[in-house]
Amino acid sequence: MEIITSLERIDLKSYKCGVALGSFDGIHIGHQTLLMNLVDVCRKNKLKSVVYTFTNHPRSLTSSNGAPSRILSEKNKFDVFREFDIDYVISVEFDDLHRNLAPGKFIEDILMNKLNMVYGIVGFDYRFGYKAQGDINLLLDYQRQFKYELKIVDAVKIEDEIISSTAIRKFISDGLINKANLFLGRKYSVLGKIVRGKGLGHQLGFPTANLSIDEGVVLPKPGVYYTKCIIDQKIYYSITSVGYNPTFGENPITVESHILDFNDNLYGKEMEIQFYHCCRGEMKFSGVDALVKQVQHDIKTAKIYFNI
Ligand SMILES: Cc1cc2nc3c(=O)[nH]c(=O)nc-3n(C[C@H](O)[C@H](O)[C@H](O)COP(=O)(O)O)c2cc1C
Ligand SMILES: Nc1ncnc2c1ncn2[C@@H]1O[C@H](COP(=O)(O)OP(=O)(O)OP(=O)(O)O)[C@@H](O)[C@H]1O
């Protein structure tokens, strides 16, 4: 899979391309339906499969509320795209050029002139171009002129609920990890480097790997979660605290994992934390002893949860 990060670097005119369009934050089951169809059709028709997406969410320029927090950091998103065997992911900045581009110009200048699109695939609610004026009807209108095939995917639902990045962000921030995982079709996860904490966990008998988190990434509500940590491609059972550690005064938010039955130096390593289930909410304890007792109990319940 090749990643293209600027419009000037797109050099696909000599190919015929199939193109999926959208933000794809989370790459949830709805998105996956589009991607699997794209790759399948492209393979059968000897087309290059292309995803055209943005590094920043379009709402960072179009909404007074700014961009929503991201489910997937940029690196995490590319890692997930890689699993689908896509030939090219074009991830460019959603800038003033995109914001002001009339929908018809987007089709002509980018989809036709840069990508030579012969097959396009979008979801039922896809919107694009200046003030989001372009929609599936416009894409259907332009078909006659540019002769591309267009696949419009109906709303993919679970239990009558339409799967969307917006819904999943809310599940995560409400701590509804099982629901987020169901809609994502995999475990919700965060990636980062292991950094130094206060070193207190070690003294308390439960050392923790503190994760540095990219700004703008959606985090689960403060609480304790059953998780697996992936370090150097090895998977470890763990229990992760997300929160402000109120027992110790006022602190910035931290994400820290206690890897079960493990004690080694991990500073500087990359870690992925996969979230499985919410164990409990964050609590403020009267003192260290009460916190330690509770964490020991959490560790026991984690072992029961993971059947170890
Ligand atoms: C499983 C687990 C549960 C935790 N639960 C809480 C909690 O409910 N309240 C709290 O104030 N801190 C909680 N903590 C965080 C500890 O306060 C934190 O690990 C300690 O301050 C050590 O931080 P350090 O890694 O920066 O040294 C929890 C930590 C773990 C590993
Ligand atoms: N549940 C779904 N069923 C079918 N297509 C979908 C579904 N969700 C998204 N798509 C399509 O996938 C592409 C990328 O989706 P996009 O990320 O723009 O939407 P989204 O998941 O609804 O995000 P948000 O909630 O932030 O609007 C678009 O073409 C969109 O129409």
| Residue-range domains of the chain with CATH | 2-162 (3.40.50.620), 187-305 (2.40.30.30)
What is the full per-residue pLDDT of the chain (308 aa) written as tens digits? Answer: 999 999 889 989 899 999 999 999 999 999 999 999 999 999 999 999 999 999 888 887 878 777 889 999 988 899 999 999 999 999 999 888 888 999 999 999 999 999 999 999 999 999 998 888 999 999 999 999 999 999 999 999 999 999 999 999 999 999 999 999 999 999 999 999 999 888 787 888 899 999 998 888 999 999 999 999 999 999 999 999 999 999 998 889 999 999 998 888 888 999 999 999 999 999 999 999 999 999 999 999 999 999 99
For residue 39, the tally of other CB atoms under 10 A from its CB is 18
- Candidates 62, 284, 30; CA nearest to 155 is 30
* Alpha helix segments (H runs only) across the chain: 29-45, 59-62, 74-82, 96-100, 103-105, 136-141, 143-146, 165-173, 177-184, 200-204, 288-305
Kind of pairing, strands 270-281 and 189-195?
antiparallel
Q: Are 121 and 47 in contact (CB under 8 A)?
A: no
Cα(298)–Cα(293) distance, integer angstroms: 9
Report which secondary-structure segment, H or E, holds 107. none
Count of residues for the chain? 308
Q: What pLDDT, on the 0 to 100 scale, is given for residue 59?
A: 81
Distance 299 CA to ligand 1 centre (A): 12
pTM of the predicted protein model:
0.94
Cα(16)–Cα(115) distance, integer angstroms: 8
Residue 263 in tokens: 């004690």
Residue 47 in tokens: 């087309």
Give the 3-state secondary structure of residue 62.
helix
Q: Is 126 in the pocket of ligand 2 (CB under 6 A)?
A: yes
Residue 84 in tokens: 């689908």
Q: Whose structure tokens read 């998977």? A: 235
Q: Out of 227, 256, 265, 276, give the residue to mutate to test ligand 1, the one with the largest number of ligand atoms within 8 Å of its CB.
A: 256
Kind of pairing, strands 270-281 and 223-231?
antiparallel
Distance 30 CA to ligand 2 centre (A): 6
Q: Is 35 in the pocket of ligand 2 (CB under 6 A)?
A: no
Distance 245 CA to ligand 1 centre (A): 6
Q: Out of 126, 127, 135, give the residue to mutate to test ligand 2, the one with the largest number of ligand atoms within 8 Å of its CB.
A: 126
DSSP 252-308: --EEEEEETT-----TT-EEEEEEEEEEEE----SSHHHHHHHHHHHHHHHHHHTT-
Cα(243)–Cα(9) distance, integer angstroms: 42
The β-bridge partners of 231 are 234, 271
DSSP state of 129: S
Side-chain-side CA neighbours of 173 within 13 Å: the count stands at: 12
Distance 290 CA to ligand 2 centre (A): 45
